[in-house]
Amino acid sequence: IKAKNKTTLVVTLEHPMPQFQNLMAFPVFFAQDKKFESSLGSKVGTSSSKQVYSGPYKFVGWNGSNKEFKLVPNKNYWDAKAVKNKGVDFQVVTDTTAALALYNKGELDQVTLSTPQ
């Protein structure tokens, strides 16, 4: 693995692997800032401020367990000028009946319903 420049990573494989590009889209393979990660240890990813963001948005206001937070544009995104909306508000509703009621009242744009296990 070699950094060709500031935005290009070159990976040379020992043998052909057709699924490689698709695998690289999985978050588990996203690059991490080693200095950032080392400074936080096991706390990495436990809140919005303890994550590295490389995409067009970043989480704000998530503490690891709270039920409301936001996705806002990431000013450090390489193509930040292309990001057109101001973000997305998230609300976690664990009671499916309450979630459906909020959706039906127009207070939620999307709801995921599941049956109790």
CATH for 98:
3.40.190.10
- Output the pLDDT for position 34: 85
| Domain assignment present for 11 | yes
The answer to whether residue 114 sits within a structural domain is no
Residue 84 lies in a domain: yes
pLDDT at position 101: 95
pTM above 0.75, yes or no: no
Residue range of the domain that includes 60 = 2-104
Does a structural domain hold residue 111?
Answer: no
**Bridge partners of residue 90, in order along the sequence:** 69
Give me the tens of pLDDT residue by residue for the chain, a chain 117 residues long: 999 998 888 999 999 999 999 999 998 888 778 898 899 999 998 999 999 888 899 999 999 899 999 999 999 999 999 999 999 999 999 898 999 999 999 999 999 877 666
Q: What is the distance between the alpha carbons of residues 21 and 2, in angstroms, rounded to a whole number?
A: 16
Number of domains in the chain: 1
